[in-house]
């Protein structure tokens, strides 16, 4: 089965509606693995309590807005080459994996030098948003694109595993 978003753009996360999140994989107690990864990364960054709360609130806001289809498609301005918007298709996964650009939810950098991404899919036959991988990337590191592609490929494998479940 396909994970290509319906009528991209804009896909479910950017089309008004009432969608539901599923997450894969999950820990034995049902916690999404991406959420555990998110928590681990935040703890390692030693953020102030205020910044930690701000980042956590931002991801919850993004998830809720995606459920209602209130996010926007990433667009590139021709004059500045700046990309703006919340949701983008990932080319390395042939558009089957999408990313939520978390710093775009607030409109500003959440953590200096980092870009926070939640990779997800939209199964073609369900009103589902499938949360897969959380991955921060260090924009000052020359390997950020390689890190991003590895996270997207991991998300693609997990989406395929989710679909193959009985």
Per-residue pLDDT reduced to its tens digit, 91-111:
898 888 999 999 877 777 788
Asked whether residue 4 is domain-assigned, the answer is: no
Q: Which has the closest alpha carbon to 74: 94, 98, 97, 38?
A: 98
The residues, ordered by sequence, that sit 6+ positions from 157 with a Cβ below 8 Å of its Cβ are none
- The pLDDT > 70 percentage for the chain reads 92
Give the range of the structural domain holding residue 151, as residue numbers without chain letter.
12-164
SS3 content of the chain, % helix, strand, coil (to 5): 35, 20, 40
Answer whether 0.75 is exceeded by the pTM.
yes
Asked whether residue 55 is domain-assigned, the answer is: yes
Asked whether residue 124 is domain-assigned, the answer is: yes
Residue 9 or residue 69, greater confidence: 69
Asked whether residue 3 is domain-assigned, the answer is: no
Q: At what angle do helices 33-44 and 49-67 cross, to 10 degrees?
A: 150
Give the number of domains in the chain. Answer: 1
pLDDT value at 80 more than 70? no
Average pLDDT, the chain: 88
Asked whether residue 5 is domain-assigned, the answer is: no
For 44-67, what is the mean pLDDT?
A: 93
- Residue 26 DSSP label: B
Asked whether residue 42 is domain-assigned, the answer is: yes
Residue 77 or residue 2, greater confidence: 77
- The pLDDT > 90 percentage for the chain reads 57
pLDDT value at 5 more than 60? no
Give me the pLDDT at residue 55, please: 92
Asked whether residue 155 is domain-assigned, the answer is: yes
């Amino acid at each position: 089965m396909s994970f290509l978003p319906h009528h991209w753009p804009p896909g479910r996360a950017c089309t008004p509606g009432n969608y539901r999140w599923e997450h894969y994989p999950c820990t034995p107690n049902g916690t999404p693995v991406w959420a555990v990864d998110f928590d681990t990364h935040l703890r390692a960054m030693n953020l102030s309590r205020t910044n930690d709360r701000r980042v956590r609130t931002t991801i919850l806001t993004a998830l809720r807005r995606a459920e209602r289809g209130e996010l926007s498609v990433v667009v590139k301005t021709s004059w500045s080459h700046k990309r703006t918007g919340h949701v983008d298709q990932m080319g390395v996964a042939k558009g089957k994996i999408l990313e939520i650009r978390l710093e775009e939810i607030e409109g500003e950098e959440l953590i200096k030098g980092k870009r926070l991404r939640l990779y997800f899919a939209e199964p073609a036959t369900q009103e589902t948003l499938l949360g897969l991988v959380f991955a921060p990337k260090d924009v000052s590191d020359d390997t950020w694109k390689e890190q991003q592609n590895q996270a997207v490929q991991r998300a693609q494998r997990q989406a395929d595993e989710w679909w193959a479940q009985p």
